[in-house]
Structure 1
Amino acid sequence: MMDLPLTPDSGWNSLYLAGEWTDPGDRGTIAVENPYTREKIATVPAGTEADVDRAYEAAAEAQRSWADQPPQRRAGVVTAALEFVRSHREEITDLLALESGSTQVKGEAELQTARGMMQQAASYPFRMKGQHAESVIPGKEHIVERNPAGVVGVISPWNFPLHLSMRAVAPAIAAGNAVVLKPASNTPITGGLLLARIFEEAGVPEGVLSVVPGQGSEIGDAIAGHEIPRVLAFTGSTEIGQRVATQAAENCALPALELGGNNVHVVTENADVGRAVDGGVFGSFLHQGQACISINRHLVHEDVYDDYVGMLTDRAANLPTGDPTDGDTIIGPIIDETQRDQILAYVDETVDEGATLETGGDHDGLVVEPTVLSDADNDMAAACNEHFGPVAPVIPYSSDGEAIELANDTIHGLSGSVHSEDLEQARTIADGIETGMIHINDQPINDEPHVPFGGMKQSGLGRYNGESILDELTTTKWISVQRESREYPF
């Protein structure tokens, strides 16, 4: 695949196993469709359980020698991969538009976060420091080494496929691990085979990375329940994440999970309403709301409720919709019909439950109109479920305590935001909300490579980014040296 352009018809009909592009043979296939036109843009092989076995076995064989490489070698591969991504920016954003329905704004944001994570990962080989400790026993020395975990399995989603694959793959490789990646079946190129191209060009040794596309129903259990990986990194729904965690735990592998969210955007009576609406529009409608950290519920104080609903409705109604390859488009397509129909069902059910449809509620193909629902409450379908679409239920509240209670009335605890010109009030509310991340006078969609990223409750286990992901992908080993004769009690 060397020197091929990064386009949908650039020969993606191969698996990347043990450093080799493997022809599909008699395997089944996965049709990759443009979610806007519904045209088939590529075909990739559907990996089998035998492919998973081969990938993990090759990873186990390659990992030890990769871990023994000097840090500058491992850092150099990640840096070369970063340069490849930088030099192919336009081709990659085009692929993201065609395969995942990413608008230009979303594609650029995804590339920026992916590049930032790669830049951070390139420093990891020089940050894997152990420690020296004194002992309570005379003449004993303690040494604590930090070593790679071993083999890492990665199962990534379709919504931000490049970034959410790269944020596990690049740190794992940098830290001296080998990786087996299963991308989502909707985005097997930008979430999987593209990473194989990137790291192959960067000079990663054979076996250190394998990419096995496939349906989760067919090979998901083989990836998650395999005896070889020591870490399973999964991003996706809470339901599937719980299954992955159970399978990983059966083999004493560490599950690193970033799962669903039901994030709130709290707008207090002391908020700058215009500023809060700016954040609310971005936080609800970036990538059609298909982000685990997007706003799922707008909690707005009754004193500013009408103003907020009016401004949010006007902004939503005027967002450009359509083809994501058009640079002016803000709202592109939902990933597939199943997701679209679920979103619209939540909207219809919420209206039946008594909410008012202020704007939206319809669709053109897979493009769902930006939708605002007023007079909503926490128990309505679009509010109590992670709707994962361009839908903004707006819920009134009357006190800070009620806002906190409403915010916490969910199984999730991933992200959120609070708006108030009174920073003490904002901080008090933020402190009361049970969530892994919260942003004052902003919106929930924030991800920076050096800051811990993850949730509480049923929104996940562990953290990505910075030192946190390095902790997930490494293990410690305690070595003691008794330098003097020791007296024993018997």
Structure 2
Amino acid sequence: MTTQATTPFLDEARWHGRLFDGAWNTADARIDVLEKATGETLTRLGHATAEHVRAACASAHANQTAWAATSFEERAEVMRAAARLVKENEAELTGWIVRETGCIPPKAGVELKMAKGILEKAAAMLGEPQGYVLPSVDGRISLAKRVPHGVVGVISPFNFPLILSIRAVVPALATGNAVVLKPDPQTPVTGGIIIARVLEEAGLPKGVLHVLPGGGDAGEALCTDPDVAMISFTGSTAAGRRVGELASRHLKRVQLELGGKNALIILDDADLDLAASNAAWGAYLHQGQICMASGRILVHESLAAGLVERLAEKARHLPVGNPALESVALGPLINQRQLERVHAIVTDTIAAGATLVAGGTYENLFYRPTVLSGVRPGMRAFEEEIFGPVACVTSFASDDEAVRLANATEYGLSAGVISASVARALAVGERLNTGLLHINDQTVADEPYIPFGGRGHSGNGESVGGPANWDAFTQWRWITIKGEAPRYPF
């Protein structure tokens, strides 16, 4: 008796060398997707050009009206079915995420749990009120109703590619938009193919979602295409500024979630062991390649030496290696260019007077968890988003100084305050220029049900997620109704 092999959910035969528009179409140019820990080719996808983007936008525009006209129950069921598929295929999807992004399996689990939650939340939001009855003159009904933009373009990054793609794609689709997604070409399976496959199998109509991994020309085409009404972008501040300029010039709505240089403030009454645990997690999770990473660890001067000692001990013993083969805490950085940038920031900061306490070395793309003490304003490690596993420790003498140091940045994404007194921590936190604030926690946190967004150079005041999704992916339409047309004096 023989057992028939089961076809994998992410069967490469379906999408190898192809692009997605509801079907899998062969592309002339290809992207080699590398396994980050080994540098070996993991798979190959189609490479989208500006011409592909223009065709996709036209198709999305043509198919959006019919999709928006489907009942909210039908759209919600697509989202629920996709959530079930994420759960059912968790083990297979985890392997792809680990190898493509270089993350440890628990981080892949977080992405999948979030993706499932985002899909379920998108289904649930369709049962919420979608407008208002407004006061008006006698004899007239006045309504305000949420309506979709039309076509939404989504540009997503490499670090948490599944979450940072699906958090825009899914609520945009749920509210009746069509979507053209350009995932980062370094992580197109996690940031694009997984989403295409679960929605395809869940019954999303053809032409409503397009997945086009490509370069800067594809992104620029998406930002300027006349069929696109909105751009949702997650990435660096420099790239986000360019996206905002292009899209705004063409009168598109723009939602930007950009970089961060987030402060974790440890007050003088904090438990040092707990504080060190929070600081290490916030600085080293996913090799520090998180926009919410604890990029500046601000600690009261009375605790600074003890915190540095504890952080260094953790850094020296955290295992680094291939997360697909070993039980490790840190995997590789995304590419050689990023590794060189991380190391340059570390060496320049040491040259400027900071002390290297642990780490500061690397092998291939594996950068050792690093501790720098005595980091001050003006040093690169204080000013710049590192996107690497570097804990930068700065001491302060008073709560007022801690606030000044935390706010001494153009960014404003996330902050944490650790103290034995919740009231004191809240008083400090309320003075911080940040979109996300965590009391007695480090700076890295996200949930499917919350409005996520930053201030300053971390965003443009737009949020995505939870209650913010109605604001982000729909616009108001005013509707009035009279029993019969009135006679006017003209």
- TM-score with structure 1 length normalisation? 0.96
Farther off after superposition, 244-253 or 428-437: 244-253
SS in 2 for 1:417: strand
Unaligned runs of 5+ in 1: none
- Of the structure 1 ranges 237-246 and 475-484, higher mean CA displacement relative to structure 2 is found in 475-484
CA contact (8 A) 2:84 2:116 kept: no
| Partner SS state of residue 477, structure 1 | strand
Question: How do 1:292-371 and structure 2 match up within 5 A?
Answer: 292-326=291-325, 328-371=327-370
Q: For 1:43, what is the secondary structure of its paired residue? A: strand
- Aligned partner of 1:23 among 13, 23, 26: 26
Q: Does the C-alpha gap of structure 1 residues 190 and 88 become closer, same or farther in structure 2, counting only changes over 3 Å?
A: same
Q: Distance in 1 between matches of 2:42 and 2:486?
A: 71
- CA shift, 1:126, in A, is 1.9
Which whole-Å CA distance do the structure 2 matches of 1:98 and 1:367 have between them? Answer: 14
Q: Superposition pairs for residues 26-425 of structure 1, below 5 Å?
A: 27-127=28-128, 129-135=130-136, 137-215=137-215, 217-326=216-325, 328-425=327-424
Q: Structure 1 residues 206 and 487, CA, compared in 2 at 3 Å: closer, same or farther?
A: closer
Return the letter of the residue paired with 1:133. L
Name the SS for the 2:152 alignment partner: strand
Please state how far the C-alpha of 1:163 moved relative to its aligned partner.
Answer: 1.0
Cα–Cα, structure 1 residues 12 and 20, in superposed 2: closer, same or farther, change >3 Å? closer
Q: In 2, distance between residues paired with 1:172 and 1:61? A: 16
CA–CA separation in structure 1 for the residues paired with 2:11 and 2:439: 41
Q: In 2, Cα distance between the equivalents of 1:445 and 1:169?
A: 22
CA distance in structure 2 between the aligned counterparts of 1:278 and 1:23, rounded to whole angstroms = 48
Superposed displacement of residue 327, structure 1: 5.4
Assess if the C-alpha contact under 8 Å between 1:156 and 1:234 holds in 2: yes
Note the C-alpha offset of 1:354: 0.6
Q: Distance in 2 between matches of 1:180 and 1:7?
A: 20
- SS of the equivalent of 2:295 reads strand
Aligned partner of residue 291 in structure 2, secondary structure: coil
Deviation at 1:485, TM superposition (A): 8.0
1:13 counterpart (2, 13, 16): 16
Counterpart residue identity of residue 181, structure 1: L
| CA apart distance, 1:283 | 0.7
Query: How far 1:194 sits from its partner (Å)?
Result: 2.0
Distance 2:445 2:404 in 1: 23
Distance 1:120 1:190, change over 3 A: same
CA deviation vs aligned residue, 1:56-80 (integer Å, no higher than 9, x gap): 1111111111111111100111111
State the alpha-carbon separation in 2 of the partners of residues 110 and 271 from structure 1. Answer: 31
Q: How does 1:462-473 map to 2 (within 5 A)?
A: 462-473=462-473
Partner of 2:15: helix, strand, or coil? Answer: coil
What is the percentage of aligned positions where both structures have the same residue? Answer: 39
Deviation at 1:390, TM superposition (A): 0.2
Greater Cα offset, 86-95 or 480-489 = 480-489
Structure 1 residues 431-465: Cα deviation after superposition (integer angstroms, max 9, x where no partner) = 01100001011111110111111101111131111
Instruction: Measure, in 2, the Cα distance between the counterparts of 1:50 and 1:62.
Output: 19
CA contact (8 A) 1:30 1:43 kept: yes
CA separation in 2, counterparts of 1:377 and 1:243? 30
Q: In structure 1, how many angstroms separate the alpha carbons of the residues matched to 2:13 and 2:443? A: 36
User: Residues 192 and 211 of structure 1 are in contact (CA less than 8 Å); yes or no, is this contact kept in structure 2?
Assistant: yes
The 1-side partners of 2:450 and 2:358 are apart by 36
Give deviations 1:359-386, integer Å, cap 9, x for gaps. Answer: 0000011010000001111221112000
Give the secondary structure class of the aligned counterpart of 1:122.
helix
| 1:484 positional shift | 7.7
Q: Is the 8 A contact 1:104 1:327 kept in 2?
A: no
Give 1:415 shift: 0.3
Amino acid at match of 1:44: L
Q: Flag the 1:277–1:487 CA change in 2: closer, same or farther, 3 A.
A: farther
Contact 2:14 2:24 in 1 (8 A): no
Deviations 1:300-340 (A, max 9, x none): 11011111111111111111110111452111000000111
Q: Distance in 1 between matches of 2:441 and 2:75?
A: 37
Deviations 1:218-250 (A, max 9, x none): 211001111111111110001111111111112
Give the secondary-structure state (helix, strand or coil) at the position aligned to 1:320.
Answer: coil
RMSD: 1.7
User: For structure 1, which segment, 13-22 or 301-310, has the greater mean C-alpha deviation from structure 2 after superposition?
Assistant: 13-22
- Looking at structure 1, the residues matched to 279 and 394 of structure 2 have their Cα atoms a distance apart, in angstroms, of 13
Determine if contact 1:362/1:369 at 8 Å carries over to the other structure.
yes
Give structure 2 stretches of 5+ with no counterpart: 1-5
Partner Cα distance (1:484, 1:191) in 2:
52
Inter-partner Cα distance in structure 2 for 1:369 and 1:10: 38
Cα distance in structure 2, aligned partners of 1:460 and 1:326: 37
Shift of 1:17: 4.0
Distance 1:10 1:362, change over 3 A: farther
> Normalising by the residue count of structure 2, what TM-score does the alignment of the two structures yield?
0.96
C-alpha distance in 2, partners of 1:4/1:383? 50
Amino acid at match of 2:79: V
Q: Give the SS at the match of 2:430.
A: helix
Aligned 8 A contact 1:114 1:163 in 2 = yes
Whole-Å separation in 1 of the counterparts to 2:232 and 2:50? 19
* 3-state SS of paired residue (1:118): helix
- Cα shift at 1:482: 4.2
